[in-house]
Chain A
Amino acid sequence: MSGELVKLLSDLKEPEALVFVEKALGDGVDPMDLLGEAKEGMSIVGQRFASDEYFIPDLVFSGVIFKRIVQILEPHLKKAEEAERLGKVIIGTVAGDIHDIGKDLVVFMLDANGFEVFDLGIDVPVQKFVDTIKETGSTVVGLSGFLTLAFQSMKDTVDAINKTGLRDNVKIMIGGGQID
């Protein structure tokens, strides 16, 4: 692995990264290796975000580049080669709230870093979270919300998880604009 794609993606060099991928495929490089490099690049983007070197636009744009790389690689990848996942995470924007930018970034970074993510989308009813925990056996649940009304929806969701006796099996994380 040359590591060049890692650098191109983590430095957000879109045209160069895409040209590199096309060329590498033509040269017979294993698409799984390229995907691995792209993921490594995303991981560096995540680290730079954590250390305040990168900001939300950098995350969003890295996602755009990553998706385009995956689009190029996809026809060349065999399904069976999908790497083993680190764990399962359920995530969604709680009932009454339709904000998704923050949630989508978290979903994307979790996915790129090897987690299996069940993204329930926006305005997710309480029961849907409960059902998905039962269906998937996931041990992590992420509740996103931007509005103040999300406080109540988050509380309702946690209460419902409590009631079904699943609370001890899962860690719940919350996030969003008004969370402190």
Chain B
Amino acid sequence: MEKKWEEMSAEKKREARFQTWLSPKDHEGNDLRFQSSESEATYKASVIRFKDAVLMEKIPDRVPIFPIGTFMQTDVYGVTPYECMYDYGKLLSTNKRFLEDYKPDYYASPAFIGSGKILEILDFKQYKWPGHGVTKQSGYQCVEGEYMKAEDYPALIDDPSDFWLRTWMPRVFGALEPLTNLAPLPWLWEIVAVSGLSVPWGIPPVQNALKALMEAGNEAMAWHQQIEAFDMEVRGMGFPTVMGGAAKAPYDILADTLRGTRGIMTDLYRQPDMVLKAMERILPLQIKQGVGMATMGGNPMVFIPMHKGADGFMSDEQFRTYYWPQLKALILGLASEGCMPFLFCEGSFNTRLEYLKELPKASSFWIFDRTDMAKVKEMIGDTLCIGGNVPAGLILTGTPEQMKAYCKNLIDVAGKGGGYIMATGTGMDQGKSDTLHAMIDFTKEYGVYK
């Protein structure tokens, strides 16, 4: 991925990214040493299986299996979300144990869990997390709020980075509230400005904010070191990850991150033009983030969790105005850089499937939660890899027999002819041993393509 990258076709770039994923490196950039020749073969077979499923050029050897969990992998061993966020060693050793016991094809990165210590240092207000606003047994949960006010659109549109630094971050992190004292960074030009613009860095509350950032950084280094060692170890055991980069639909950045659900829904009526303009600014930033992270992670997948465009969350007209054009541009932008967008459709997407037909073949893959999979297969199954739909309720309250029957139907209907990934449709916070084993073991057996 060195020279001439810019001149390569999207297809070549994608192939290069898949090759990087297929031949993982250790943290020093050398070829990763696998634990055994079997683990190397398992790793490579799993990557190729996934590649075959998403590129849809050939039928994979069998249905790939990816039970997507956050705290599920640790919950099945009685380790609490609180322990996961504060005892990194326990988080990682338990995740490793899950892989050894359940043997899914891919692992869900424990990096998604994050560190409770870092959140405490920064006094993060946008979420409650185990032991901090919710019980130690609960996963983290978003606190709905207008972290960007209705009147902030011009500032966001004018300079998103400045808005993030001096407005959004001070509101979302209590420890960074003093950053409101900073001057806009582009005010710094040439010698005459340097001394004056250094003043804000000397204001005692700003210095406290900087100290908090340094403390968070120190903790993040310790956390990251352990996460990275885990990544290397489990890859060496034969488990690839399906998470390269991440990005969000521009509307979800507004609806989840900035304005909140109620805020954005009101904006749709009161200031629709501002919503559109803001998304125009957000879109290229999201493409850059997805591509940048995928490159850093050595993995073509760009995870795009979707929330506020699902069935019921807006009308068809609103979807076609405020959600789809920007999402489609994000998908195409990522694909043109050789990335493979991984659309995670929480809730249901039944009324949106018609739009997905506009996407070029193999330009992305789609994991569904409660969408009708027979309809999905029929409508987009020829062009896009699909997956998911194993219900959280079935995992937590079902029997192994019910799970097998459900998975059999999925493989028969959605898995027909390839292009299907067996997965949960939501990031599971909890799990149950017998149904999870049934999902994985049955698919390994019944999901083989003959």
Interface centre among A54, A95, A147 (most CB of B within 10 A): A147
Q: B144: which A residues are within 8 A, CB to CB?
A: 100-101
Do B314 and A57 touch across chains, with their CB atoms under 8 A apart? yes
Within 8 A of B (CB), among A3-36: 12, 14
A127: interface (CB < 8 Å): no
Of the A-B pairs whose beta carbons lie under 8 Å apart in the complex, a sample of 27, sorted by A's number, is: A14-B270, A54-B315, A55-B315, A56-B313, A57-B265, A57-B313, A57-B315, A60-B261, A60-B265, A61-B266, A61-B269, A96-B138, A97-B141, A98-B134, A101-B262, A147-B139, A147-B429, A148-B393, A148-B426, A148-B429, A148-B430, A149-B429, A151-B397, A177-B346, A177-B347, A178-B391, A178-B392
A156: interface (CB < 8 Å): no
B35: interface (CB < 8 Å): no
Chain A nearest CB: distance from B131 CB in Å?
12
Interface residues, chain B, with chain A CB atoms under 8 Å away: 128, 133-135, 137-139, 141, 143-144, 261-262, 265-266, 268-270, 312-315, 318, 346-347, 370, 391-393, 396-397, 426, 428-430
In Å, the complex CA distance between A14 and B269 comes to 9
Q: B138: which A residues are within 8 A, CB to CB?
A: 96-97, 147, 149
A99: interface (CB < 8 Å): yes
Q: B346: which A residues are within 8 A, CB to CB?
A: 177
Q: A60: which B residues are within 8 A, CB to CB?
A: 261-262, 265-266
Do B266 and A147 touch across chains, with their CB atoms under 8 A apart? no
- The closest CB in chain B to the CB of A57 belongs to B265
Do A57 and B128 touch across chains, with their CB atoms under 8 A apart? no
In Å, the complex CA distance between A141 and B77 comes to 34
- The closest CB in chain B to the CB of A180 belongs to B393
In Å, the complex CA distance between A64 and B268 comes to 13
Do A55 and B141 touch across chains, with their CB atoms under 8 A apart? no
Do B265 and A56 touch across chains, with their CB atoms under 8 A apart? yes
Chain A nearest CB: distance from B98 CB in Å?
17
In Å, the complex CA distance between A22 and B350 comes to 43
Q: B393: which A residues are within 8 A, CB to CB?
A: 148, 151, 178-180
In Å, the complex CA distance between A138 and B211 comes to 53
Do B428 and A148 touch across chains, with their CB atoms under 8 A apart? yes
In Å, the complex CA distance between A14 and B346 comes to 31
Q: B428: which A residues are within 8 A, CB to CB?
A: 148
Chain A nearest CB: distance from B354 CB in Å?
15
Interface centre among B144, B261, B265 (most CB of A within 10 A): B265
Do A55 and B269 touch across chains, with their CB atoms under 8 A apart? no
Interface centre among A96, A148, A151 (most CB of B within 10 A): A148
Chain B nearest CB: distance from A143 CB in Å?
15
